[in-house]
Structures are given as structure tokens and as C-alpha cells.
Amino acid sequence: MKISLYASGEKALSSIDFLGKHQLAHIRLVVIGRDEKVQQDFSKNIVTLCQERNLPYSFDDTVSDDSDILIAIGWRKLIQKKPNQKLIVMHDSILPRYRGFNPLVTALINGDKEIGVTALFGEESYDTGEIIATEKIPIAYPIRIQEAIKKISVCYQLLLKKVLIDVLEDNLTSIPQVSEAATYSLWRDEQDYFLNWKESSEKILRTIHAVGFPYNGAKFHLKDEIYTITDATLIPDVTIANRDVGKVIFKNEGKLVVVCGSGLLRLDAVFDKDGKEEKFNNKFRLRFS
């Protein structure tokens, strides 16, 4: 049985590192993905791991691949399988919830109390294939994306090992998804890093934590300048007769407090485009967008 792994990101790195010698012996190739849109894509780390484990690897996802099983871990491109091949996708949501893109970020922004990974058969329509197995883990807020990735990486480790054991023992089974229960998570781009002050302070704080490192960080506009915010604190709301979101209402412990759709948010760590921390000293009458 020949197996190829299509691996991208920290979750893939952790999953491969967790495999035992018996599973690794069947890995014919590791195709490594790069992602220039994040601050760290772990591609170099995966190369180092492959070298340590004597695993053949390539950055060319168009390479002719004659493996029996193709397994995608954190992979973000289409994989063209041959008729005699099986494609297994590891998707970081509890399907059929959050089919699509960036499901972990969506789950954190929405305040889900549980995150997980689903192994499913790849189909032409994304994330609709039959489910092979699922691993879940509870979370509590506040939680940053780095911590959530480490937690969900454990799910990836357990799931990949289970799938490989079932593949090698010819014991792979699956069940259809309940399509009526499906929800979708849309792709995200640079515009999605900008905060929407009309949302609740709780959701804005979850967003700040969900798009931090290794992503590029939550952002807002102040006039013509763009700032990145890496941390904030919830402040109890007050009655505002003329509520106007994005305006600074007062200072708390010397830091600006911004009016949100509901609730208030204190800006604890803000940086300008050059990465210099902005204290907004002697500034108060500000409107963020």
C-alpha cells in the first residue's frame, strides 16, 4: 500500500511527527504546501522533519503521483486524483458544520465551545464526501488562534494515525453526511482582517484572537492609517444616548476604550504599519473604522 501526504501548516507538521515507524514505512511521498499569506507556514519545518524521517518530499503538487491513497492535511489546493486512487481529506471542522474555508477561524469568531477535525473522502464538490472519522476537543474563551491550533493538532494526530491504521488493515469505513445539517464557512481575504465595530465587543475580541499570529492580525483604520491590534479587554457597557460605533468614549488605565455595537472594548496592544506600538498619548477624539 503506497500513501502520499499533501501537507501544509503546523497541523500537518504535528500529524506527521506523531506517526510511528510502521505508518511512516508506507509513506511514498510528502507534497509540501507553502502559504505566503501567513507569517509562518511551517513548510521549512516539514522539510526538516521529512529529512529526519527519510521521507521523500516535493513542493511540486503537479508531480505524477501513483500512490494508492492520497491524504490531504491542511491542504488548500485541488488535488486531481486518478480513477484508481482514493483521496482522503482532513478538514478542521466537525462536519457537516463549516464546510469550506478557514473553518477553525470561523468557529473561534462564532464562539463555538467545541472544535474538531473530520476525515472524509474527497469529492468534486468540496467537503461533501462520506465521513470516515471525527475527533473533537472542548475549548474555553478567551483563546488565541495559536492555542487553538495546538489543541486541534492533537485531533489531527489521533485522526491521521487512526486513518492510516484502518487503511493498512483494510478496515476503512465511512458514512454519508447529513446534508440538511450542513453549514458553510466562506474564504477570507485581506478585507476580512478589518474589524466591524458594529459587532458586539465579545465577538470583536474573539476576532482579534482568532486572526492573530500566524495570521496577519486584526486591523482598523484611523483616517488614512492602518493599525493592527493584537490584544484588548472587555469593558462593561454604559448607557450612551447617541451610540456611535468606532468612537473612543473614554480611557481606562490610560488606554482607549471604543464603542462597539454592544459593549465596550479597551485597546491594549496596537501597532502601526511599521510594527511600532502606538500608545495614542494625548489623543482622545478618535473615530476608528
Cell 516535493 sits on residue: 58
The helix/strand/coil state of 24 is helix
Task: Report, at the CATH architecture level, how domain 190-271 is classified.
Answer: Roll (3.10)
Pick 3-185's CATH classification: 3.10.620.30, 3.40.50.170, 3.30.1330.10, 3.40.50.720. 3.40.50.170
Least confident of 28-37, 97-106, 219-228: 28-37
Task: With beta carbons less than 8 A apart as the criterion, state whether 136 and 114 touch.
Answer: yes
User: 72-86 pLDDT, tens per residue?
Assistant: 999 988 888 888 899
Work out the pLDDT band at 36, boundaries 50, 70, 90. confident
Q: Which residues neighbour 197 within 8 Å (Cβ) at sequence distance 6 or greater? A: 204, 220, 245, 246, 258, 259, 260, 261, 288, 289
pLDDT at 142 over 90: yes
Choose among 205, 102, 195, 198: nearest CA to 152. 102
| In the predicted structure, residue 286 carries a pLDDT above the cut 90 | yes
Say if residue 202's pLDDT is above 80: yes
What residue segments make up the domains of the chain, in order of their start? 3-185, 190-271
